[in-house]
Amino acid sequence: MPIHSYTAHVQELEAFGMGYPLHGEARDRAVLGSWRRCIDQHRLDPSRTSEAHIVPAGQLRAHREESEPLIRIARSGLERLYQQLKGLDYVLLLADRHGVAVDFLGHDSDASDLRSAGLYLGAQWREDVAGTSAVGTCLATGEALTVHQSDHFDFTHTRLSCTAAPIYDLQGQLAAVLDLSLLRSPAARASQQMALHLVTAAVRRVELANLMAQSSSDWVLRLAQSPDFLDVDADAALSVDARGRIRAMTHAASRMLASIAGLNWRQQPLLTGQPLGRFFDTDLQALPQLMRNRPAQERILRARDGSIWFAHALPPQPRSSAQASPRP
């Protein structure tokens, strides 16, 4: 059951909209920012409730076709995460950049309840449609977050607890959102800390897989702050072209490079195309020394800001004869 009654929920939102201080449960800054957008920008009525909006089948098909490469890469990561959570009643959604759920993992026996709650294929979770939600607010902010029960703007969704993390493409654009939700959850918001950790780790692996799939002709640098995890679960990764310039990177790598150079990570075009030596005390010729034929503890990469990283360099993959020969 929701923590708030319908009346208490609407009164809190209306008081917030009029600028009165909130009493009782503390709200995250991201939640309050979303409430403000819902009221001021999207002109949503706090007293209005509506079940989840499911897009028509033809529209869903178009969204899935647009996201097909990412769905294919992310699917194994979603299945692995779902198996980790087996028996805990979590539902996984992969929503595209438009807020539409294009992939889904959940219990078939709960299909009717999940569909009415919006935890289903084709559900539209943009803020201007559904109000404050993990998917919609993640799309609006670009940050991982939890929207727990009465954090939701629409009272219809206040029984849900949802945790989401953004998936960025290689150009630094927010391409999708991975959401982990519960139809029924413990009252305490802190109960979802594990979900936040798991969903951000899964997103990091999806971005890494996407980088590896699209960087076969480049050097790839996998980076970690600890040598113990370098070869099994890197923190970040980037690709370097034949001129020694950075071609693409995961989101964690863009944050890292921006921090090293004192730039804003949201301006990834300022990072892409830069020589590797701008950020690290190394260049293209030194990358073979960072390959796996040396112990991870010896593959040290010093950043220009003084930080120390451990690196695993993967050389460009040789083109097969099928790739090299022109198509008739």
Residues 18-39, mean pLDDT to the nearest whole number: 88
Q: Within the chain, which residue ranges are assigned CATH 3.30.450.40? A: 6-207
Give the range with max mean pLDDT: 42-51, 85-94, 226-235: 42-51
Which 3-state string (H, E, C) describes 15-82? HHHCCCCCCCCCCCHHHHHHHHHHHHCCCCCCCCCCCCEECCHHHHHHHHHHCHHHHHHHHHHHHHHH
Please give the backbone phi and psi of residue 30, each rounded to the nearest 5 degrees, phi first: -65, -35
51: pLDDT strictly greater than 70:
yes
Residues 189-197, mean pLDDT to the nearest whole number: 85
Rounded to whole angstroms, the Cα distance separating 224 from 308 reads: 9
Q: Which amino acid is at 205?
A: R
| Cβ atoms < 10 Å from Cβ of 54 | 18
**Among 38-47, 171-180, 318-327, which stretch is predicted with the lowest mean pLDDT?**
318-327
Tell which residue, 278, 270, 241, has the closest CA to residue 254: 270
Residue in the block written with tokens 């009029």: 18
What size, in residues, is the chain?
328
User: pLDDT tier at 3 (50, 70, 90 boundaries)?
Assistant: low
Rounded to whole angstroms, the Cα distance separating 289 from 283 reads: 11
Contacts of 57 by beta carbon, 8 Å cutoff, 6+ apart: 122
Q: Quick one: how far is CA 286 from the chain centroid?
A: 32
Give the range with max mean pLDDT: 67-76, 159-168, 261-270: 159-168
Which 3-state string (H, E, C) describes the chain? CCCCCHHHHHHHHHHHHCCCCCCCCCCCHHHHHHHHHHHHCCCCCCCCCCCCEECCHHHHHHHHHHCHHHHHHHHHHHHHHHHHCCCCCEEEEEEECCCEEEEEECCHHHHHHHHHHCCCCCEECCHHHHCCCHHHHHHHHCCCEEEEHHHCCCHHHCCCEEEEEEEECCCCCEEEEEEEEECCCCCCHHHHHHHHHHHHHHHHHHHHHHHHHCCCCCEEEEEECCCCCCCCCCCEEEEECCCCEEEEECHHHHHHHHHHHCCCCCCHHHCCCCEHHHCECCCHHHHHHHCCCCCHHHCEEEECCCCEEEEEEECCCCCCHHHHCCCC
Distances (CA, A) of 28 to 13, 22, 109, 146, 153: 14, 12, 33, 9, 13
Q: What is the pLDDT of residue 151?
A: 95
Residues 211-230, mean pLDDT to the nearest whole number: 92
- Please name every residue paired with 311 in a beta bridge, in sequence order, or none if there are none: 223
Mean pLDDT of the chain: 90
* pTM recorded for the entire structure: 0.89
- In CATH terms, the fold of domain 6-207 is Beta-Lactamase (3.30.450)
HSE-CB at 136 with a 13 A cutoff on CA atoms is: 26
Query: Could you tell me what percent of the chain has a pLDDT over 70?
Result: 95
Q: What is the pLDDT of residue 325?
A: 44
